[in-house]
């Protein structure tokens, strides 16, 4: 009886304290609930949640049984068994708790392994991308090596005058455009474009603007001559600049790639020749 009275007193005090705590905790209830959910239930596997639920049920049954034993409660419709059975239940509960802890450790280890695996794969991917980029750059450099070595030379000048002479007319203006094949390579299907020149200019017959093949060091050129550089084409002293901007050549390298080289040395690969 004394034990039952003590339990009742403690129960009444506990209820009073719970009521006070509830009144004080109302503003924080939502935050506490959110914290509990985030702390104990977020990022849990289904198996972990099941073990936690079973552990809570076992803990509740144990607490209810202990209170029943202490208060001498012997409800007819509840048969909890001997104390040894409840000790077994307690051990089972601890086993569930241990299983939850072990599963949590295993999950953490698996998460760490996954993170390390992802990091390793990311490093491999980055390394592969770097190697592919370096390989592509090396292949491009090798592909362009021959074409970049090709050059177009242009010239524009009037013939020289003998000292002391005062000719009635200026010597004719000669313009030249020459393509040189780089040494160590050969070019095929070479074709030079001749732009429309000022009126009065004629192309020399020995000019050569096409070649089926040019070996390294060989060249083709065209030459034109005229008495007067029309202002429509700019000032005469800029004739070389005009030629660079209006002449070009197409050719194939030893690998069969087709290129177009402008007189300005602008180079690009083409896939057809118009």
Any idea what DSSP says for residue 171? P
Is 0.75 surpassed by the pTM of this model?
no
Own/partner pairs, 156-165, CB within 8 angstroms, 24+ separation: 156/236, 156/239, 156/240, 156/243
**139: in domain:** no
233 Cβ neighbours under 8 A, 6+ residues apart: 197, 198, 239, 242
Q: What is the pLDDT along the chain (274 residues), one digit of tens a residue?
A: 444 444 454 454 445 444 444 444 444 444 544 545 445 555 566 656 666 666 676 666 666 666 665 565 554 444 545 555 655 666 676 776 777 777 777 777 787 888 888 888 898 988 888 888 888 888 888 888 999 999 999 999 987 655 555 555 678 999 999 999 999 999 999 999 999 999 999 999 888 999 999 998 899 999 999 998 999 999 999 999 999 999 999 999 999 999 999 999 999 999 865 4
Residue 182 sits in a domain whose CATH number is 2.60.40
Same domain, 89 and 40: yes
Is residue 138 one of the residues assigned to a domain? no
Residue 4 near residue 71, CB atoms below 8 Å: yes
Looking at the 3D structure of the chain, how many domains does it have?
2
- Euclidean distance between CA atoms 147 and 258, whole angstroms: 9
156 plus 263 within the same structural domain: yes
Domain with 155, as residue range(s), is 150-160+170-270
In a domain, 199, yes or no: yes
């Amino acid at each position: 009886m004394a034990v039952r009275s003590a339990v009742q007193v403690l129960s009444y005090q506990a209820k009073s304290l719970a009521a006070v705590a509830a009144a004080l905790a109302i503003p924080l209830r939502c935050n506490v609930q959110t914290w509990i959910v985030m702390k104990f239930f977020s990022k849990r596997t289904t198996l972990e949640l099941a073990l936690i639920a079973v552990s809570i049920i076992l803990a509740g049954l144990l607490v209810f049984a202990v209170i029943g034993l202490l208060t001498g409660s012997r409800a007819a419709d509840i048969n909890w068994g001997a104390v040894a059975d409840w000790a077994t239940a307690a051990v089972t509960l601890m086993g569930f708790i241990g299983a939850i802890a072990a599963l949590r450790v295993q999950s953490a280890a698996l998460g760490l392994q996954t993170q390390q695996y992802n990091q390793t794969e990311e490093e491999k991917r980055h390394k592969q991308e770097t190697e592919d980029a370096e390989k592509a750059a090396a292949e491009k450099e090798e592909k362009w090596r021959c074409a970049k070595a090709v050059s177009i030379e242009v010239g524009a000048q009037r013939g020289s005058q003998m000292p002391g002479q005062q000719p009635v007319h200026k010597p004719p203006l000669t313009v030249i455009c020459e393509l040189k094949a780089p040494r160590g390579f050969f070019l095929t299907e070479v074709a030079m474009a001749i732009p429309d020149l000022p009126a009065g200019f004629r192309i020399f017959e020995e000019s050569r603007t096409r070649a089926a093949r040019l070996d390294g060091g060989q060249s083709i050129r065209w030459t034109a001559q005229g008495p007067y550089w029309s202002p429509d084409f700019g000032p005469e002293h800029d004739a070389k600049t005009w030629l660079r901007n209006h002449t070009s050549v197409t050719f194939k390298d030893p690998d069969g790639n087709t290129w177009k080289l402008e007189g300005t040395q602008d180079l690009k690969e083409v896939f057809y020749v118009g």
